[in-house]
Chain A
Amino acid sequence: MKRGWTLALRNLRRNRRRNLATAAAIALGYAGLVVLGGYANHIERLLRTNAVYLQHSGHVSVWLEGGFEGAGANPEKLQLDPAAQKKVLDFAARDPRVEFAARYLRGVGLAGNGCTTMPTRILGVEPATLARIVAHPEVQAWSPEISMPVAGRWLDRTPEVAHPAALSVGLAVLLEKPRVRDETRGLPPAPRILDCDTPLQADELGRDADVQLASVTYDGTFNALDTEMVATFHATESLAEESSLLTTLDTVQTLFATDRATWIALFLRDPRQAHAVAADVVAALGKDGLRVEALPYDDERANPYYVGSTAFLGSIVGFITVLVALVLVLTVVGAMTLTILERTREIGTWRALGFQRGHVVALVVRETFLLALAGLAGGLSIGLLVALAVNHAGLRFSPPGVPGSIALLIHPSPWACAAHAALIVPGVCGAAWFVVRGQLRRGLVDLLTSQSG
């Protein structure tokens, strides 16, 4: 049929108030989805950035086979020795999909202040890697706040310190260390031997940033070394806020008297390649006689908080999307039912002039399509304006499971906006199709003699 779009556009000029109300309903529903999708997108990117970069799992973490589960209990046997580390790093250097790779050594020990000790999860990272991670565009874009220390300087900025350590804020509080190294300058030195039972204890402990680490080495002897607290930070998860300590790889290797690494993280240029790279590294190193396991960042074992949170968020967004789509479909069903009823006789006239059922259906669906497009355009504009306003309002909130507060930011994703639109347009057009098909089942004479239109 010629000029179908023109006719559809003309028809929209009738009942302008109703059509405006319908388009406004679509616009508001879609704006809500744009904002909700923008929030979910921001949170997902934040959690992903935290998991991949700030929790140091990389897009792919490579472990000696059995190491992911057993390295803690049997570190000597299930961690990567220097030869294995070299093979993994060589693979990473050869593969153009890998942006960079980094070695990590993880263990548990005690952190002490001279009076008390606290069980601590110690992670050793190469300072250069930490510098690269903190400056990474992904980190700067999605998690700039969490990537910055709460106080002090990161390990890579304190080359003058032999064994620098960054403590999670909760652990620093437990160890009664309110000041990082830079903040203790000019204070009278703490006594070499502390009297842990006097009221002066807290003041004495806080005058320096010394933290002692103690642990059992891999060969079974006891080892301890002095570190200096150069920074405090918020852990990316609440559960780790009172027990996390980050220090250099050398320091942890010295503490545990080992040259091994627990895992090597591969940071990719494109996160979508994670599964392929994981499979390839296992296969390639397997051929080289090294049996490893590789976990992509979205593997629940590697990042349970990220995977669980995004799945929960996804289901909430999906549920609300379906709900909004249903409301919009019902709105369009109502509006189109009225429209079609009012035009019953006219539809009969179209049919009498030779237009087939399909022509009439196509005309009404085109009208709805145009209405939906107008609504989506309006909704997108409203949604983007709301996002802009929220992003400039400086609102903060405390997401569950994350210590401290973070800025409430909304970053609508083009893909999510397109996906929501792709759901709404067929939904409302289908609703119009349903209504007009029902009306066209009536006999032609019945349509022509209708009193309602």
Chain B
Amino acid sequence: MVTPATAPLAAEAFVRVEEVHKSYRLGETEVRALRGLSLELSRGEFTALVGASGSGKSTLLNLVGCLDEPDRGRILLDGRDVAHLSDEEKSRTRNRSIGFIFQSFNLVPVLDVFENVELPLLLRDELSPVERRARVEQAIADVGLGEFARQWPDKLSGGQRQRVAIARALVTQPLLVLADEPTANLDSETAAHLIDLMVDLNQKRAVTFLFSTHDEKLMVRVARVVRIRDGVTVES
């Protein structure tokens, strides 16, 4: 078993969320997802966001991942206010600095495992085909799917698919990995293995991990737990 991630590798705040508000409309109703939430993540930190459904976990991950914009407040990534980034710069930031792991894996069904993992690297003109291949093979090996590289996603189990998603998130060598309920569609044993894998990769690669979950059993495996309720942090 992998030991829980402990202290961050550097003390400075790599991700800083300052008094962020975010509302969205659900039909006729306005939902206030975040109500002045603040949070700091250090480089290399492994953090779980815990909260009930609708507490604002996914909204926070979307904002930190440059997938959405806050109504108020600031989000600083490595010191840069993401509000000042153009759409193109946000795309580049997502590609180069952030890895995403989704609850439903979000693999492309017409691409095999290797090609799915390779996908974000297709935007990297500076990588030669040989370097690209080496990176993909390494990422697939790191998640223990070396022998499945040419399998189609629909031939894999849920846990294997999520490993592919993790490999895809890490293949770009990001500074930050965001995972929204990555274990929600997995059985508890597979979920535990997956968290262990993420912790292991966090320690090996010094990548900052922020993932959301409502599974309390997984809490023992992570160093830092941030609890969110009604759009604000209640415990960190």
What residues of chain A have their CB less than 8 Å away from a CB belonging to chain B?
1-3, 7, 10-11, 13-14, 345-346, 348-357, 359, 443-445, 448
Contacts and interface: CB of A to CB of B under 8 A. Distances in A.
A356 B96 contact: no
Contacts of B65: 352
Interface stretch (B5-13, B104-112, B140-148): B104-112
Nearest to A352: B100
A445 B110 contact: no
A444 B102 contact: no
Given A348-B106, A448-B67, 12 more contacts: A1-B123, A349-B102, A350-B119, A352-B100, A353-B168, A354-B94, A354-B95, A354-B96, A354-B120, A355-B123, A445-B67, A448-B102
B135 to A, nearest CB: 14
B: interface residue count bin: 20 to 34
Q: Which of B95, B100, B102, B108 has the most CB of A within 10 A?
A: B108
Contact of B62 (A346, A349, A355, A445): A445
Nearest to A346: B108
Contacts of B122: 1-3
A357 B108 CA distance: 17
Instruction: Enumerate the 6 nearest inter-chain pairs by beta-carbon distance, A residue then B residue, closest first.
Output: A354-B95, A349-B106, A10-B110, A2-B122, A353-B120, A444-B67
Contact of B68 (A3, A346, A444): A444
B95 A445 contact: no
Interface in B143-168: 168
A355 B109 CA distance: 17
A345 B106 contact: yes
B92 to A, nearest CB: 7
Nearest to B109: A14
A353 B110 contact: no
11 contacts: A1-B122, A2-B125, A14-B109, A345-B104, A348-B106, A349-B102, A349-B106, A350-B119, A353-B95, A445-B62, A448-B102
Interface string B89-133: 001101110001010101011110000000110110100000000
Interface of B: 62, 65, 67-68, 87-88, 91-92, 94-96, 100, 102, 104, 106, 108-111, 119-120, 122-123, 125, 168, 172
Contacts, number: 60
A interface: dominant SS: helix
B25 to A, nearest CB: 11
Contacts of B102: 349, 448
Nearest to A10: B110
A445 B94 CA distance: 14
B94 A11 contact: no
A363 to B, nearest CB: 11
Contacts of A445: 62, 67-68
Contacts of A357: 87
A69 to B, nearest CB: 68
Contacts of B100: 352-353
Contacts of B108: 346, 349
A240 B197 CA distance: 93
Contacts of A353: 94-95, 100, 119-120, 168
Contacts of A359: 123
A42 to B, nearest CB: 45
A350 B108 CA distance: 9
Nearest to A14: B110
A450 B177 CA distance: 22
Nearest to B92: A354
B68 A356 contact: no
A453 to B, nearest CB: 11
